[in-house]
Structure 1
């Protein structure tokens, strides 16, 4: 029997009492978004050659559309009715829990977009799939740094078990986030060309703020989190 898809729901309750429900289905093994989008109806800005990332390893012959843009397209289209600072009641439902919070449209969209970017078929975003599996909606900068560092270090454990050189100094983690900055910039260009409101573009800008901050503050920020481990460190001899 095939394992059932993982389902994550983002429910936006708007000020006029209308609702927008975004349902994300993830393949339980690959953690890739299971898309039902008809490629014939995709907007022009999803074409791979439109604002293609300089480091993109894909070719139009294999992938006519950018995988990240394909995931974002339905969100951008349905988010047109929202303005950046519109207040929404956001409810995010996963198999494990329900998270509810009143927030701005751009922050709610940013959280949703971060999820679908991570679960796209873009070769540059595969590192973020484990974080998507344990998705934390509306994560703060401190939470994002903790989760990114923990995920990366666990990945290095598996790298070492394969007999390869592990990077426990987090040197390549900054490279991963610099690549994400490149993707965010390209996505902002794409979305700006196809969106009439600012909410989707500003949502990507919020994502990029974290991506830009992390390479510069990762080690300093980790030291700021050291106090969390002091009780344990005192027991280590």
Structure 2
């Protein structure tokens, strides 16, 4: 029996009581987003050659369109009616729970775009697929830092048990986030060329703020999060009882 897709629904309830419903389906094995049944024609700014990232390993022969741009294109199109600071009621529904919050259009779009970019198949965003599987809507900076570093460290465990050399100093994570900044800047250029309102562009800017913050926090040895582990570290440092 074929495993069912993982479904995450984003409902935007606007001030005029209208609703925009975005249904994201993730392949349960690859964690990549599954295409919509009735896909709209792709806009020009989704072409791979349009503002392609300098470090992008894809070629037009194998991938005529940027995977991340293709994933956010429907969101940008349907978000045209929204301005960045329009207030809306967001409801995110997964198989496990329902999360509701009043927020701004740019924050809601930022959360949604982060999810679909993670599952887009972009070679640079593969680390974020486990985070997409355990999606946390509207994650703030501290939550994002915790989830990203914890995901990376768990990945290093699997590297080590698979016979590889684990990067417990997080050096490669720093480099990855520098590359993610490049991806975000390219996405902002793409969206700016195809959007009439500012909400989608500012959503990408918010994503980039988190990407910029993480290398800085790593340089500070993640001391901002140390307090979370003090009780556990105290147990580890305690002498064992005979």
State TM-score, norm by structure 2.
0.95
1:236 aligns with 236
Label 1:166 to 1:201 Cα distance change in 2 as closer, same or farther (>3 A): same
Q: Report the Cα distance in structure 2 between the residues aligned to 1:218 and 1:101, rounded to whole angstroms.
A: 30
Q: Report the Cα distance in structure 2 between the residues aligned to 1:119 and 1:184, rounded to whole angstroms.
A: 15
Q: Report the Cα distance in structure 1 between the residues aligned to 2:29 and 2:110, rounded to whole angstroms.
A: 25
Q: How does 1:33-112 map to 2 (within 5 A)?
A: 33-36=33-36, 41-112=41-112
Which string of whole-angstrom CA distances, capped at 9 and with x for unpartnered residues, describes residues 132-174 of structure 1? 1000000010000000110000000000011110001111111
Classify the secondary structure of the residue corresponding to 1:160.
helix
Identify which range, 111-120 or 213-222, moves more after superposition: 213-222
Which string of whole-angstrom CA distances, capped at 9 and with x for unpartnered residues, describes residues 55-107 of structure 1? 01001111000000000000000000000000010000111111100000000
Q: How does 1:193-204 map to 2 (within 5 A)?
A: 193-204=193-204
Is the 1:145–1:218 Cα contact (8 Å) retained in structure 2? no
Identify which range, 214-223 or 56-65, moves more after superposition: 214-223
**Pairwise CA RMSD:** 1.2
1:23 aligns with 23
For the pair 1:120 / 2:104, whether they are aligned, the reply is no
Q: Report the Cα distance in structure 1 between the residues aligned to 2:227 and 2:77, rounded to whole angstroms.
A: 44
Q: Report the Cα distance in structure 2 between the residues aligned to 1:101 and 1:221, rounded to whole angstroms.
A: 32
1:223 aligns with 223
Runs of 5+ unmatched residues, structure 1 = none
Label 1:40 to 1:19 Cα distance change in 2 as closer, same or farther (>3 A): closer
Label 1:90 to 1:39 Cα distance change in 2 as closer, same or farther (>3 A): closer
Q: Report the Cα distance in structure 2 between the residues aligned to 1:214 and 1:72, rounded to whole angstroms.
A: 23
State TM-score, norm by structure 1.
0.97
Classify the secondary structure of the residue corresponding to 1:236.
helix
- In the TM superposition, residue 220 of structure 1 has moved relative to its aligned partner by 2.6
Q: Report the Cα distance in structure 1 between the residues aligned to 2:233 and 2:201, rounded to whole angstroms.
A: 43
2:240 aligns with none
Runs of 5+ unmatched residues, structure 2 = 238-242
- In the TM superposition, residue 221 of structure 1 has moved relative to its aligned partner by 6.6
Is the 1:145–1:221 Cα contact (8 Å) retained in structure 2? no
- In the TM superposition, residue 231 of structure 1 has moved relative to its aligned partner by 1.1
